[in-house]
Structure 1
Amino acid sequence: MSAFSRHGGVLHAESVALTDVAAEFGTPCWVYSRQALESALDEFQRELRGLDALVCYAVKANSNLAVLDVLARRGAGFDIVSAGELKRVLAIGADPQRIVFSGVGKSAAEMELALTTGILCFNVESAAELERLNGVAAKLGKKAPISLRVNPDVDAGTHPYISTGLKENKFGVAYDEARALYRRAAGLANVEISGIDCHIGSQLLDPAPFAEALDKLLALIDQLAADGIAVHHVDLGGGLGIRYRDSDALTTVEAYLQPLLAKLKGRSLRILLEPGRRVVGNAGLLLTRVEYLKPGEVKNFAIVDAAMNDLARPALYGSWHDIVPVVSRQGAPTTWEIVGPVCESGDFLGHGRELTLADGDLLAILSAGAYSMAMSSNYNTRPRAAEVMVDGTQAHLVRRRETVEELYALEQRLP
């Protein structure tokens, strides 16, 4: 059974009607499927079976503790980019030796916490970070395990805001400078070279750029071997896309991984992956209710109770999310702009959607499991929505809705 499917004209998450979720938890509300999460992770695990490999879920995609817990129970490791994310994965009992720390701006305090915790590896992104990490490790009397995140200057062909592998991007060490920086790392007393890392972007639907990037990494690994520098793992990053609309040419995990695994055959390298969106993106949706229908001369507006503060992706990236009625309604459709109540003209969730609507109807904004709740805000003093995870016939509240009072609890007036 599909994680989200229609029964008797009503959209369900697994075996729970979304009308029941809305009645119990209100709207707007994030709804996740445990089955979908586990199935998405299992796709990677199946292709890597029998290999020395670790799938490190990219926590930034969705950091809810229930999501992390489900994936940890299924054997996932974690890719983090902050001390906050480290504390989240530790809170669900994750093994520190299954955690890699990425990100361009790690503070000394974050490095100390990660070193004390005993994580698997730091993905170092600059010469300055390498020097700082060596100093922090020396202060603690430790050796920091490192990979250099190498920027291979490969065009992933994705949105410029989520492209990370070109020379003009802020991420990683330039390919032409990586060999010299590895030599520098080999001479530092408090770092230990563990691997090599690469991540070229997000929402990639063509596997070819991944293969191109790996070819460049393998050439660099061979150059390092000639320098007497051994790397023990290769971290291929994440970035494999999901289907947001039917026209998206979805790449299977098998089609993505098999060419990479073929290139790695015969090399004694542990394989690390950092998928995020591909694991959680299609495992979640945003449930919202129509507040008002506002027909106009040029456009018709359906004003819903979710907004850009809940789901920023359409306003930020021009992203598409399918929007469907929770309860099927008969009648000729009308073209609607799906917009929220936030006081911004950019507050839209979908343009030009053909829907048959009435005031009070429930809508589901699909493929909203990744970079959605994680990027939400309190703009217009709007409490962030509740999060619910469905497991078969049960709907569990995994994050309650905020209250307005909580939003200003840390503030105070002048004396």
Structure 2
Amino acid sequence: MIHNNEYLIKLSEKYGTPLYIYDSYKIYQQYKKMINAFKGINNFIINYACKANTNLNILKFFNTLGSGLDAVSIQEIEIGLMAGFPPKNIIYTPNCVSIQEIIKAVKLGVRINLDNLSILEQFGEYFPKYSVGIRINPHIMAGANLKTSVGHIDSKFGISFYQIPHVKRILKNTGIKIDGLHMHTGSDILNIQSFLEGAKILFKIALDFPKVNYIDLGSGFKVSYKKKDVKTDISMLSNKITHEFNNLCKNYKNNNCITLIIEPGKFLVSESGYFLVRVNVIKHTTSTVFAGVDSGFNHFIRPMFYDAYHHIDNISNPNGCSRFYTVVGYICESDTFGLNRKISEIHEGDILCIKNAGAYCYSMSSNYNSRYRPSEVMILNGKDFLIRKRETMKDLIKNIIEIPI
């Protein structure tokens, strides 16, 4: 487990910057916290939403914990299989993909959630009598902002719960069986009432499908990004969900044994991550003091894309006099990590640590401005391991084919 700034600085010296660091013990703590919260449900499974962080070693670690896997692409399925997940422990929930990709997933043997009536019909032509899950759109506005809200009426995700009669018609025409019901309403959800409303909709729909094996509530649990930040009360949420779910099981036709699944990504890995950057320059303007670092939104896009807050510490001078800085990157765009932040006095060459860097950070990185992606390090059993090398020019141009010009 990461204990102090000195340790982080040693890692920056050993591996260079910019550098992602993941604390496996924090991941373990978050996983166990959620398992314990839902211990009142006999059949409960956590599927790690690997889009948050797809490093093979992170997936292998989750597999050792007993987690399943939530995948949204054929490539995530393949990485999950490489990490050792049995196909039956992977649920594939794609969006706007071709029927050809879904056919590939069938051949790999994973479980499948479909979220489109057209694809459901096509699937039935290829695989009559097959069992699939369906993703329901509960028409709930949830999530930190519109970009992360995916369960509202105008969302591209899911089949409207008003379209259940159409779903039943497709099932009758094709012979497809419904294996499970799925929902995901958004990320960083502030109000647990959103979860409860969605869960009640799925539980009610389940009564019309007597052979459902699982109900998947997705995720969207909010974590703390700063002191006194609002976060999802997992204990309160689990108590309410457990009560509603156990009532469903009592009233379910044929007394089938249903499994409850949730798919946390950010909740499990966000707080495990640290992103270390080195200060290239301190620049004064007429109104602002900029701390320019050796990274940008090519490595860490969340503050620019989602207006997300990530706490920033100067670990080289943690006890220095606090001053106001705008921390920016080296990309030829407006890439601001933190606007007008109060941080211990920063000097050129200092190492800054950006917190909550475990989820949707490296996985959303790019080579914009022809910059290399950074290294990743994992702390496991008190030891540091390089789990992804820093890119080089060879990586940058490896797929380019030169033609005579």
Q: Pick one of 193, 216, 239 that aligns with 2:201.
A: 216
Check if 1:202 corresponds to 2:187.
yes
Check if 1:238 corresponds to 2:219.
yes
Query: Alpha-carbon deviation of 1:297?
Result: 1.3
Check if 1:25 corresponds to 2:11.
no
Check if 1:84 corresponds to 2:75.
yes
Check if 1:181 corresponds to 2:167.
yes
Q: Kindly indicate whether the alpha-carbon contact (under 8 Å) linking 1:186 and 1:193 is maintained by their aligned counterparts in 2.
A: no
One-letter amino acid of the structure 2 residue matched with residue 242 of structure 1: V
Q: Pick one of 324, 328, 333 that aligns with 1:339.
A: 328
Task: Give unpaired runs (5+ residues) of structure 1.
Answer: 12-16
Structure 1-normalised TM-score?
A: 0.91
Task: Give unpaired runs (5+ residues) of structure 2.
Answer: 250-256
Q: Kindly indicate whether the alpha-carbon contact (under 8 Å) linking 1:150 and 1:198 is maintained by their aligned counterparts in 2.
A: yes
Deviates more, 1:107-116 or 1:205-214: 107-116
Q: Pick one of 278, 288, 301 that aligns with 2:290.
A: 301
- For the residue of structure 1 that corresponds to 2:342, the secondary structure is strand
Q: Pick one of 148, 164, 176 that aligns with 1:162.
A: 148
* Cα distance change, pair 314–218 in 1 and its aligned pair in 2 (3 A): same
Once residues 151 and 123 of structure 1 are traced to their aligned partners in structure 2, the CA distance between those partners, rounded to angstroms, is 13
Deviations 1:347-366 (A, max 9, x none): 11111111211111101100
Question: Paired residue for 1:58?
Answer: 49
RMSD value over aligned CA atoms?
1.6
Q: Kindly indicate whether the alpha-carbon contact (under 8 Å) linking 1:111 and 1:136 is maintained by their aligned counterparts in 2.
A: no
* Cα distance change, pair 230–183 in 1 and its aligned pair in 2 (3 A): farther
Once residues 369 and 173 of structure 1 are traced to their aligned partners in structure 2, the CA distance between those partners, rounded to angstroms, is 31
Q: Kindly indicate whether the alpha-carbon contact (under 8 Å) linking 1:336 and 1:354 is maintained by their aligned counterparts in 2.
A: yes
Once residues 321 and 59 of structure 2 are traced to their aligned partners in structure 1, the CA distance between those partners, rounded to angstroms, is 43
Check if 1:125 corresponds to 2:115.
yes
Question: Paired residue for 2:342?
Answer: 354
Question: Paired residue for 1:403?
Answer: 392
- For the residue of structure 1 that corresponds to 2:200, the secondary structure is helix
Question: Paired residue for 1:14?
Answer: none
Deviations 1:19-46 (A, max 9, x none): 1111111000100001011111111222
* Cα distance change, pair 330–104 in 1 and its aligned pair in 2 (3 A): closer
Q: Kindly indicate whether the alpha-carbon contact (under 8 Å) linking 1:186 and 1:192 is maintained by their aligned counterparts in 2.
A: no
Query: Alpha-carbon deviation of 1:183?
Result: 3.8
Query: Alpha-carbon deviation of 1:329?
Result: 4.2
Check if 1:71 corresponds to 2:62.
yes
* Cα distance change, pair 327–232 in 1 and its aligned pair in 2 (3 A): same
- For the residue of structure 2 that corresponds to 1:297, the secondary structure is coil
Once residues 162 and 330 of structure 1 are traced to their aligned partners in structure 2, the CA distance between those partners, rounded to angstroms, is 36
Once residues 71 and 328 of structure 1 are traced to their aligned partners in structure 2, the CA distance between those partners, rounded to angstroms, is 35
Question: Paired residue for 2:236?
Answer: 255
Q: Pick one of 113, 117, 127 that aligns with 2:104.
A: 113
- For the residue of structure 2 that corresponds to 1:265, the secondary structure is helix
* Number of equivalent positions: 394
Deviations 1:208-267 (A, max 9, x none): 100011111222223x15xxx532211111111111112421223222222111101141
Paired residues for 1:89-100 under 5 Å = 89-100=80-91
Give me the identity figure in percent.
29
